[in-house]
C-alpha cells in the first residue's frame, strides 16, 4: 500500500475515535485531547465520558458511530469479550467498511485473540496494531506509558505522534500479536514478583524481623523488582486504591495459562500465582489494587 494512501496524522485534520474510558483509557484520551486532537469517544458507561465531553469531545452513541466519524480508532478495554463486543458486536465498529482506517488496540488480551481480531479487521479493510501498555494510572495521566506494539512498521510510523503524546517509549516487538505476547510476559512476571515479595515479607516477620527492616533491605538489593520500591509507601500505609485492579492481573494470569496451553509450555509457578490471586479475589479484593496482595499475605 502506497504511503500517500494513508491518513494524515496532523492533529488539525485527524479525528481520533477512542473507545474505553476506564482508569487508563480516560487518561490516555485526555492527553490526546490536551494536545489538540479532535476526539470522538464511546464508553458503555456514558458518565465516564463527561469530563472529555465538557472539553470538546464528541460522544458517540455506539462504536459504529465512532468508526463512521474517525480515521484512527483506539480501544482500551478490560478483557477480550469487551473488545469483541465493541469491534464485532451488533453495533461494532467493524460493521463499517474500514476504508483504510487504522485500529489500535491497547487492551491487554491474549495473543491468539489479537491474531483473530487482526484478521477480522483486515478483511473489513481496517489496518491494525496491537499496542498494549506497560504502566498504570499515574503514567497514563502523565503520558509516561510504554507501548508494546505488534503490526506493520509503516502503520506504527504513521501514528507515532499519538504514542509520543500518551507514552514515553514505543517498542515495536514484531508482527501482529507480538505486542500482546510481550505484555502477558511482563504482567506474568510482575504478578509473580508481588507474590514472592509478599510471601518473603510474611516469612521474615514470622521470624521477628520488622516490616520496615525487611523493606529497607530487600527493596535495596537486586532480588526485588524495581516497581516494588515505587509502591512501597502504598504497601506500608495499606493504601490499595486501585491503579491496577487485582481482578485484572488475575485475568492476565488466566490468559498466561491459556496461551501456555496453546503453545505447549508448562507454567507451574504462574498457575500457582493465579490461584493465590484467585483466593484474594474470592475474599473481596478484586476491585482493590493488585498490591493489596501484600496486605492479604501480611495480615
Q: Which residues are catalytic?
A: 183
> In angstroms, what is the C-alpha Rg of the chain?
20
Q: What is the 3-state secondary structure (H, E, C) of 37-61?
A: CEEEEECCCHHHHHHHHHCCCEECC
- Count other Cβ atoms within 10 Å, centred on residue 176: 21
Q: Is 143 helix (H, G, I), strand (E, B) or coil?
A: coil
Q: Which three cell numbers stand for residue 133?
A: 501498555
- Report residue 239 CA to chain centroid gap: 22
- Report residue 262 CA to chain centroid gap: 22
Bridge partners (DSSP) listed for residue 170 = 147
Q: Which residues contact 120 (CB under 8 A, 6 or more apart)?
A: 87, 88, 94
Q: Which helix (H) or strand (E) holds 179?
A: helix 178-206
Q: Which three cell numbers stand for residue 135?
A: 504502566
Amino acid at each position: 500500500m502506497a504511503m500517500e494512501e494513508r491518513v494524515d496524522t496532523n492533529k488539525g485534520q485527524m479525528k481520533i475515535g477512542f473507545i474505553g474510558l476506564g482508569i487508563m483509557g480516560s487518561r490516555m484520551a485526555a492527553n490526546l485531547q490536551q494536545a489538540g486532537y479532535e476526539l470522538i469517544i464511546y464508553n458503555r458507561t456514558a458518565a465516564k465520558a463527561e469530563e472529555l465531553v465538557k472539553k470538546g469531545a464528541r460522544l458517540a452513541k455506539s462504536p459504529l458511530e465512532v468508526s463512521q466519524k474517525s480515521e484512527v480508532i483506539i480501544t482500551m478495554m478490560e478483557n477480550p469479550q469487551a473488545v469483541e463486543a465493541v469491534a464485532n458486536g451488533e453495533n461494532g465498529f467493524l460493521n463499517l467498511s474500514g476504508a483504510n482506517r487504522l485500529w489500535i488496540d491497547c487492551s491487554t488480551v491474549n495473543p491468539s485473540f489479537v491474531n483473530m481480531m487482526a484478521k477480522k479487521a483486515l478483511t473489513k479493510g481496517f489496518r491494525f496494531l496491537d499496542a498494549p501498555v506497560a504502566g498504570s494510572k499515574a503514567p497514563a495521566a502523565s503520558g509516561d506509558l510504554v507501548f508494546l506494539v505488534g503490526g506493520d512498521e509503516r502503520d506504527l510510523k504513521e501514528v507515532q505522534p499519538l504514542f509520543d503524546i500518551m507514552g514515553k517509549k514505543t517498542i515495536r516487538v514484531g508482527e501482529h500479536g507480538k505486542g500482546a505476547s510481550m505484555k502477558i510476559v511482563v504482567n506474568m512476571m510482575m504478578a509473580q514478583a508481588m507474590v514472592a515479595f509478599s510471601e518473603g515479607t510474611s516469612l521474615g516477620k514470622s521470624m521477628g524481623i520488622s516490616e520496615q527492616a525487611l523493606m529497607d533491605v530487600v527493596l535495596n538489593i537486586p532480588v526485588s523488582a524495581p516497581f516494588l520500591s515505587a509502591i512501597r509507601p502504598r504497601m506500608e500505609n495499606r493504601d490499595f486504591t486501585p491503579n491496577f485492579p487485582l481482578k485484572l492481573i488475575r485475568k492476565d494470569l488466566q490468559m498466561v495459562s491459556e496461551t501456555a496451553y496453546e503453545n505447549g509450555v508448562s507454567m507451574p509457578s504462574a498457575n500457582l500465582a493465579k490461584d493465590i490471586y484467585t483466593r484474594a479475589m474470592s475474599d473481596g479484593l478484586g476491585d482493590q489494587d493488585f498490591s493489596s496482595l501484600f496486605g492479604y499475605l501480611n495480615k
